Structure 1
Amino acid sequence: MPDSKGGKRQNRRGGRQPRIAESVCGERVRVALMEARPAGLTTKQLVTATGLSEYYVRKGLQWIKEKAALENLTPLTWTAKDGYRFPVDVADWIAYERRQFNTELTRITRLITATVGPHATARPDDKGIQLILAQLENIRTTLEILAHGD
């Protein structure tokens, strides 16, 4: 923990607290999720199962998202009901992917309507902003197909 003067993190015995590598955190979290499979685990449950702090559990989840899921061909999903998990059923993967596409669709749509669209309307002769708007509209259309298409 940082001391009150902004010093280095100390453990309970007064020594410096070691940092844990992302890959180590990620492997601990991945193993805990694999052992719980097909059930999921909340962040709090992952803290208990791995012996890591919440910070390191989140670091491990990020590592899984960036590296391990693709390497191990096990997509990581999250729902409020089940927490984080490696689902067995492909339908669960697809449903999660569609929710993620829908989230990104909402973000891109808001970027277009609240920021880029007004800029493009105010500067109709600015070819750069018109090109950006066209590209974002293409992304929006693709995300819409991915989020809602069958």
Structure 2
Amino acid sequence: MPKRSPTAERNAELIRTALLKVSPAGLTIIELMTECNLSLWQTRRALAALRDLCAEKGWPPAIWTREAGYHFCAGETELERWERVWIGERLTQFRRMLSGTLGPHLRLFPKSDWAEYLTAQVKAIESNLEIAAGPWPR
């Protein structure tokens, strides 16, 4: 895990406390900023630090959904749904990388070993993400 500043950890604890107060409901980013008296930048860094702390300490993950905002996930179904959405977003990003950057790179420089290698790697990741984003169990 990357090293976190003491400030990020302190702010993560502020956010954790705020989320626990309203649990099982959640808070929007604006509500978190207001409740914790943090700037947008501080809130985003604190959320990243909180996710790391949740993983390290075995706490339920902090997630964001459109319906509830930021909250601690307690249900397996909700967590699986969130993971599928997250994977689907990454799949879209990889497809855009293939079509918008690597494709034109190969057309401009057809002998580019780097572009060929990267295309093969990204396509492998794309196929794995496609499987993971699909319905389960198979």
Q: With the length of structure 2 as denominator, give the TM-score of the two structures.
A: 0.83
The answer on 1:59 being equivalent to 2:45 is yes
Q: List gaps (5 residues or longer) in structure 1.
A: 1-19
* Unmatched tracts of structure 2, length 5 or more: 1-5
Superposition misfits of 4+ residues, deviation over 4 angstroms: none
d(CA) in 2 for partners of 1:22, 1:94: 28
Q: Which of 71, 94, 97 is matched with 2:56 structurally?
A: 71
After TM superposition, the structure 1 stretch with the greater mean CA deviation from structure 2, 39-48 or 85-94, is 39-48
Q: Please, what is the CA RMSD of the aligned residues?
A: 1.8
Q: Is the Cα contact below 8 Å between 1:120 and 1:133 reproduced in 2? A: no
Relative to its length, the structure with more helix (as a share) is 2
Quick one: structure 1 residues 149 and 125, their matched pair in 2 at CA, closer, same or farther if it must change by over 3 Å? farther
Cα deviation digits, residues 82-129 of structure 1 (max 9, x gap): 110112111111111111100000000000011102222444433322
Residues of 2 paired with 1:48 and 1:113: CA distance? Answer: 41
Larger Rg: 1
Q: Percent identity?
A: 30
Size of the alignment, in residue pairs? Answer: 130
Show the counterpart of 1:26: 12
Helix, strand or coil at the partner of 2:111:
coil
CA distance in structure 1 between the partners assigned to 2:41 and 2:114 by the alignment: 41
Corresponding residue for 1:143? 129
Aligned partners of 1:86 and 1:62: how far apart in 2?
A: 14
